């Protein structure tokens, strides 16, 4: 069975909830408004049948769906936030039930028995006070934690449109990974963690850590994994050289970006690498 561990899909009820909102995040006529600004959204890309066709095209059996923290929902007051997260989760459950095993889900910021794991934003690891009880619950369950970039403020007017997506998100993920190295694994020894987008290029920092006396061999933890979303061959090869091929899983970030570049990069590394990233390691992760 082949997996894509990093996809986002908005069920109909969640889309309706975003369209009904007056404050960020909200949808208006195909435009999404978040704390970062306004962006165009192709709502057809969230149609389950269209997504299944894309999985067939890419040769993927199962996509793991999550509610991306980059919408800014975490910045809302408790009840308002819970309502949106639970609306997404209930809609995702219906999508999963109708898809004959082709979809699975990470529960947003909570543990749910019918989900394969829990998704959180980078702040959950960077700041020990953000979600200590949640992380303790994931640890107690020996669960899977999927760490994803969060929404940021609007980029300065002097910066290009890609600034937050490239400089901001990767910076968040590097801080989350370094926090995990510093004390996260010690505090939560049973968590199996997957860092989205190669943890923002985590392998780049290892040589620098050596200069501060860090024994980076402690980073070679078989239950700390990295998804390939948005990266190409050079970055993936560097991650393999640093951690070993068994530490990577295939993720696409569908529908935020087109799958083809990352998929081609993974396939260009050979059938054995494809098998490990898409089948062997995610199979172990979700066992």
The model carries a pTM of: 0.96
**What DSSP string runs through 34-55?**
ETTEEEE--GGGG-HHHHHHHH
Supply the pLDDT for residue 152: 86
- With DSSP H G I counted as helix, E B as strand and the rest as coil, what are the percentages for the chain, rounded to 5? 50, 15, 35
- Architecture of the domain delimited by 3-285: Alpha-Beta Barrel (3.20)
| Beta-bridge partners for 105 | 65
| 87-96, 193-202, 209-218, 239-248: the lowest-pLDDT one | 209-218
Question: 90-140 pLDDT, tens per residue?
Answer: 999 999 999 999 999 999 999 999 999 999 999 999 999 999 999 999 999
- What are the structural domain ranges in the chain? 3-285
Task: Tell me whether strands 31-34 and 37-40 are parallel, antiparallel or unpaired.
Answer: antiparallel
Read off the pLDDT band of 220 (50, 70, 90).
Answer: confident
State mean pLDDT over 240-265: 95
Query: What percentage of residues in the chain have a pLDDT greater than 70?
Result: 100
Is the confidence at residue 219, as pLDDT, over 80? no
State mean pLDDT over 179-207: 93
Is the confidence at residue 216, as pLDDT, over 80? no
Query: What is the Cα–Cα distance from 81 to 104, expressed in whole angstroms?
Result: 22
DSSP state of 69: G
DSSP state of 227: E
Supply the pLDDT for residue 160: 86
Supply the mean pLDDT for the chain. 95
Question: 129-163 pLDDT, tens per residue?
Answer: 999 999 999 999 999 999 999 998 887 888 888 88
The residues near 72 (Cβ < 8 Å, ≥ 6 apart) are 24, 25, 34, 35, 36, 150, 151
Supply the pLDDT for residue 29: 87
State mean pLDDT over 209-226: 86
Decide if 174 contacts 199 (C-beta within 8 A). yes
Is the confidence at residue 54, as pLDDT, over 90? yes
Query: What percentage of residues in the chain have a pLDDT greater than 90?
Result: 86
């Amino acid at each position: 069975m082949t997996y894509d561990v990093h996809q986002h899909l908005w069920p109909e009820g969640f889309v309706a909830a975003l369209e009904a909102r007056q404050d960020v995040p909200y949808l208006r006529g195909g435009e999404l408004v978040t704390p970062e600004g306004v962006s165009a959204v192709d709502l057809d890309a969230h149609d389950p049948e269209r997504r299944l066709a894309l999985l067939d095209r890419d040769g993927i059996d199962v996509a793991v769906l999550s509610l991306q923290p980059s919408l800014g929902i975490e910045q809302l007051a408790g009840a308002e936030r819970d309502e949106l997260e639970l609306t997404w989760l209930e809609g995702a459950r219906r999508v999963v039930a109708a898809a004959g095993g082709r979809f699975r889900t990470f529960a947003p910021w909570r543990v749910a028995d019918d989900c394969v794991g829990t998704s959180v934003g980078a702040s959950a690891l960077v700041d020990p006070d953000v979600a200590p009880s949640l992380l303790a619950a994931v640890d107690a369950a020996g669960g899977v934690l999927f760490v994803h970039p969060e929404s940021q403020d609007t980029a300065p007017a002097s910066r290009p449109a890609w600034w937050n997506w490239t400089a901001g998100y990767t910076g968040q993920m590097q801080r989350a990974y370094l926090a995990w190295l510093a004390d996260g694994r010690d505090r939560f020894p049973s968590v199996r963690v997957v860092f989205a987008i190669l943890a923002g290029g985590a392998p780049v920092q290892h040589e620098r850590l050596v200069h501060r006396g860090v024994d980076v061999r402690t980073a070679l933890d078989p239950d700390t994994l990295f998804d390939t979303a948005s990266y190409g061959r050079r970055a993936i090869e560097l991650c393999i050289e640093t951690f070993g091929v068994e530490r990577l899983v295939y993720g696409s970030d569908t529908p935020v970006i087109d799958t083809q570049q990352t998929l081609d990069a993974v396939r260009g590394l050979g059938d054995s690498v494809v098998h490990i990233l898409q089948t062997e390691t995610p199979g172990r992760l979700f066992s």
